[in-house]
Structure formats: structure tokens, C-alpha cells
Amino acid sequence: QAVVTGDVRIGKNCYIGPGAALRGDWGTIILEDGCNVQENCTIHMFPGLTVLLKEGSHIGHGAIIHGATIGRNCLVGMNSVLMDHVQIGDESIVGALTFIKEGTIIPPRSLVAGNPGKIIRAVSDEQLKWKTEGTNLYQQLPAYCKDELKKCQPLRKPKKQTPLRSFHYKTWKSKS
């Protein structure tokens, strides 16, 4: 279960994964439409700050967003940490395990990685397409969960012919 406290505003078709903590107790958190905050993420801020995730923002498993603004259609990779007053430009990708120090401003379409985070190069059209396809999968989860999740008894033995969901989406490395 996710924990959402304080002044948190969540747009349409947003996914918030189990273990996520969105703490708007000292400021405001705004998730525009189509954002996803995956499992075990923390979103928080110093008193009086606002965290803004613009439309289509994709926050990877275990990331920490602390008082930052994430641009439209961005990806923040798994276990990344973004500190206060960070601004990530639209359509940027922050690599997994990246640390972005306080006050850093990243221009649009930037690929950022490292500790501290540095701009590696521009995000390619192919990378942006890959990111957008992944985000689209998460945007479908709220409706899928609403329609499909039902109270049930524990599964003691596998059912025969349990259908598996099939995806043609691959990790970035497997694409090259």
C-alpha cells in the first residue's frame, strides 16, 4: 500500500505503486495527468516547497524526489535522488542511481547520469519513444486495477491455463 498524506494533488490516470510515500505534510505535491510513481519511492520537501511532476512523469522504483520539479514526459531512473530546487527539463531521462544536487537545472531533452548527476548527451528520438511506451504501460494500470482487482482467497495451487499478459516492450539494452 502507498501512503499519501497532506496536500497531495493527483491527476487522472496516475499510478502510485505499493510502498510509495507521498508526504505533502510540509508543502504541496502535484502529480499532473498520466504520472507514475513506482514502488518504494519517496516524494517530500522542506517546509513551504512544492514538488511538481508534470504530465507523463515516470519515477522509477525506489527514487527519492525532495522538493524538485520534474518536466513533462521525463523518466527518473530507479533509486535516483533529486534534491530541493532541482528542475528537470521536459523529455529528459535521469539514469538509475543518479544523485542530482540541490538547485541543479537540467535543460530539456537531456540524458543525465552519475554522482553528482551530469549531462551525458541529448535524449535521442529512439530513447524518448522507448520511455513514452514504458510510461504508457503504467498509465493503463489504474484502469486495469479498477476493472480486474477483486477480493479473493489465497491461491494454494496454480490454476490450469492461467493466461499471461504479453508485452513486446524490452529493456533499453536489449534493443541495441
Answer yes or no: is pLDDT of 173 > 60.
Answer: yes
Range of the domain at 87: 3-122
Structurally, how many domains does the chain consist of?
1
Determine, yes or no, domain membership for 166.
no
Supply the CATH number for residue 68's domain. 2.160.10.10
What Å distances lie between residue 77 and 81, 88, 100, CA to CA?
A: 9, 13, 12
Contact 86, 74 (CB under 8 A): no
Q: Kindly report the pTM of this predicted structure.
A: 0.84
Determine, yes or no, domain membership for 153.
no
Determine, yes or no, domain membership for 25.
yes
Of 13, 22, 72, give the one whose Cα is nearest residue 42: 22
Of 45, 36, 26, give the one whose Cα is nearest residue 2: 36
Determine, yes or no, domain membership for 87.
yes
Share of the chain above pLDDT 70, in %: 93
Determine, yes or no, domain membership for 149.
no
Answer yes or no: is pLDDT of 94 > 70.
Answer: yes
Whats the size of the chain, residue-wise?
176
Answer yes or no: is pLDDT of 175 > 70.
Answer: no
Determine, yes or no, domain membership for 82.
yes
Determine, yes or no, domain membership for 176.
no
DSSP conformational letter for 24 = E
Determine, yes or no, domain membership for 29.
yes
Of 173, 139, 151, give the one whose Cα is nearest residue 38: 139
Answer yes or no: is pLDDT of 176 > 60.
Answer: no
pLDDT recorded at residue 172: 78
**Banded model confidence at residue 77, pLDDT cuts 50, 70, 90:** very high
Mean pLDDT (whole number) for 86-107: 99
What Å distances lie between residue 37 and 63, 145, 161, 163, CA to CA?
A: 9, 15, 32, 27
Mean pLDDT (whole number) for 56-72: 98
Mean pLDDT (whole number) for 107-118: 98
pLDDT recorded at residue 55: 98
Mean pLDDT of the chain: 92
pLDDT recorded at residue 144: 81
